[in-house]
Structure 1
């Protein structure tokens, strides 16, 4: 396994990455939407890295987008092929992104992790009633937030109803060292 830059002229890996994205997320329900997302990740001031196996097959992808004059980078997206999940590959990609951001002078990585499937105590709640309390008492069943917390990310905010009533987006960040 190795992590490499996804390159504009590598159509095969771009197509593999788009297929992986489409198969893994509802937001990219068509290949056309997925391929557009992958191509956008290849623009200037972005990071696009893929994890490939020994046969050159894409099994994971991570992207980063520069914000705040390069001080902050948004992690978007992170995806691992289903058969390879829960084997440390996501962690490998996040750690690689941290190095990439640090090399570019970034100091913070930011991400949003939607709760569209009632996997946290934030779902189906009026978060406006006492948002600080909801953050303080946050808990999750089997939500990606748990993965990011293990890697040192902390919750820095919540966007109530970001994905419809009772479906928040959980904002997380980590300082790059």
Structure 2
């Protein structure tokens, strides 16, 4: 496997990335044009867009992110790995590669949001108000939610936006200092 930049001149790779989004994020992206647009937007300045390519040259993973706070902080969004390659270190390699690129650009922190729209954590379906932070302290991974993956890579839960995706469907914020 090799990790390289996603570029405009690699039209076939852009389409493979769009297909990954369509298949990997069925709750977020469900239209082809929307997925292709997301891939194209990742090529703007102050963005990082990297793909994992297998030995046959097929895209098996994609990570992207955007600079915020004057370059000090970078949002990782999105990370997607083809279902046949999950659990094989592709996501981990993409995250570490992304962090390395952020450091090269002078970034200090990487953050991300990881929605719970399907019951992956103990926050799902819960009334988090009035003690949002107290409830957040009790978070547990109950169904292989991505926040567990990021915790293994050193990310910490730094906040939550209750009801971001409808009642009981929060967005969980995580961050890690990379410098």
Which TM-score band (shorter chain)? Answer: over 0.9
1:171 match: secondary structure? strand
Aligned residue for 1:139?
A: 140
Aligned residue for 1:101?
A: 102
- CA–CA distance in 2 between the matches of 1:16 and 1:138? 35
Q: CA RMSD in A?
A: 0.7
In structure 1, runs of 5+ residues without a counterpart are none
2:3 match: secondary structure? strand
User: Does the alignment pair 1:89 with 2:90?
Assistant: yes
Aligned residue for 1:113?
A: 114
Aligned residue for 1:167?
A: 169
Aligned-pair CA distance for 1:55: 1.4
Aligned residue for 2:47?
A: 46
1:127 match: secondary structure? coil
Aligned-pair CA distance for 1:129: 2.0
Deviations 1:114-155 (A, max 9, x none): 000011111111111211211211101110000000000000
Q: TM-score normalised to the size of structure 1? A: 0.98
Segments of 4+ moved more than 2 angstroms: none
Aligned residue for 1:11?
A: 11
Q: Return the match for 1:176 from 164, 175, 178.
A: 178
Larger deviation, residues 124-133 vs 108-117:
124-133
Aligned residue for 2:152?
A: 150
- CA–CA distance in 1 between the matches of 2:49 and 2:60? 14
In structure 2, runs of 5+ residues without a counterpart are none
Number of residue pairs aligned between Structure 1 and Structure 2: 177
Larger deviation, residues 148-157 vs 123-132:
123-132
Larger deviation, residues 120-129 vs 86-95:
120-129
Aligned residue for 1:23?
A: 23
